[in-house]
């Protein structure tokens, strides 16, 4: 929501004063067909309407297709719409797909659009030197979302928006009131001038305390361990006749029973595992059609015996 509001004001300087009715054409923005559902909610909240969300086709690995993005932008401009933002995803919730970030950022730059990356859950993996290339191109974005309450294991409600254009944030959100003190100077910023919230809790304390206790190296060890558990999960699934059907370097596995990949079988397995109390998995659809089971390692306390307990619960359905 913060990124979309900032992009609207940056692209349409009169938006903040006159709203959507003052714009010369209907604004539209672009996301992957596998993106998080929050983009549709954002479109509703801002008054853009969900029709303004352009879901771009994905490839066989469920990544946004740059050629389809380029074509959609050109088609919309020809039809009288006003593109203003492209949102790539670095680690889709559904299957862990990482869009081609550099190519998408270049398309956004060439068309004069705001470039955003949703790295809410997977972005923390960039802390690992050996995984950093997975996110090549993220540095080209105008804004990035990252949730510390996901892979950084902070308590809930610790979302971050990183923005390379703080002036654009101020243009979208700053207000002047005689009863408020003058803005801080130097390295201190009054954050209410840079985002939606006015009075706010000290959310940053959650992450700061963890860093003071564990340090960046502690976080790297925890994230690396979760990758290792994801690899173990994939190996054990293969050993026991379950077929992994997504393609991602992240520790999220979508899988089916190799002997019966039907939706009914997936739901039967999910219900049994849930009732067993051994693990929590979900069902999903890949590419909007293929039914699958989904398991994601996002807790640093996950150990080999937890993975094996999940496998045992899966096997008990046979």
CATH for 60: 3.40.640.10
Q: Say whether both 95 and 236 belong to one domain.
A: no
Written as tens digits, the pLDDT of the chain (318 aa) is 999 999 999 999 989 989 998 898 999 999 999 998 899 999 999 999 999 999 999 999 999 999 999 999 999 999 999 999 999 999 999 999 999 999 999 999 999 999 999 999 999 999 999 999 999 999 999 999 999 999 888 888 888 999 999 999 988 888 877 777 666 666 767 777 888 777 788 888 999 999 999 999 999 999 999 999 999 999 999 999 999 999 999 999 999 999 999 999 999 999 999 999 989 999 999 987 889 999 999 999 999 999 999 999 999 998
Domain count, the chain: 2
Residues 135 and 8 in one domain: yes
The candidate with the shortest Cα–Cα distance to 313, out of 264, 279, 283, 263, is: 279
Domain CATH code at residue 306: 3.90.1150.170
In a domain, residue 102? The reply is: yes
- Give the span between the Cα atoms of 121 and 136, in whole angstroms: 16
Give the integer Cα–Cα distance in Å for 263 and 48: 35
Which residues are known catalytic residues? 36
């Amino acid at each position: 929501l913060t990124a979309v509001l900032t992009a609207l004001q940056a692209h349409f300087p009169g938006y903040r004063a006159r709203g959507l009715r003052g714009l010369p054409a209907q604004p539209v923005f672009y996301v992957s067909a596998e993106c998080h559902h929050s983009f549709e909610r954002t479109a509703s909240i801002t008054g853009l309407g969900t029709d303004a969300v352009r879901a771009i086709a994905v490839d066989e690995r469920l990544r946004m297709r740059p050629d389809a993005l380029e074509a959609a932008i050109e088609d919309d401009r020809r039809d009288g719409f006003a593109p203003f933002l492209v949102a790539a995803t670095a680690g889709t919730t559904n299957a862990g797909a990482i869009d081609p970030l550099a190519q998408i950022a270049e398309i956004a730059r060439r068309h004069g659009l705001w470039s955003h990356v949703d790295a809410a859950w997977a972005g923390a993996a960039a802390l690992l030197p050996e995984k950093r290339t997975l996110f090549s191109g993220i540095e080209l974005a105008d804004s990035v979302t990252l949730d510390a309450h996901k892979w950084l294991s902070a308590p809930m409600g610790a979302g971050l928006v990183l923005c390379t254009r703080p002036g654009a944030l101020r243009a979208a959100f700053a207000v002047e009131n005689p009863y408020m003190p003058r803005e801080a100077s130097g390295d201190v910023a009054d954050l209410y001038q840079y985002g939606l919230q006015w009075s706010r809790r000290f959310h940053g304390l959650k992450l700061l305390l963890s860093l003071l206790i564990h340090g960046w190296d502690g976080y790297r060890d925890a994230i690396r361990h979760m990758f290792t558990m994801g690899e173990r999960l994939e190996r054990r699934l293969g050993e026991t006749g379950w077929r992994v059907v997504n393609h991602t370097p992240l520790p999220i596995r979508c899988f089916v029973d190799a002997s019966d990949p039907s939706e009914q079988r997936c739901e039967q397995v999910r219900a049994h595992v849930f009732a067993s109390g051994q693990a929590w998995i979900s069902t999903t659809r890949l590419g909007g059609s293929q039914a699958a089971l989904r398991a994601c390692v996002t807790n640093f306390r996950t150990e080999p015996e937890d993975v094996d307990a999940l496998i045992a619960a899966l096997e008990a359905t046979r």
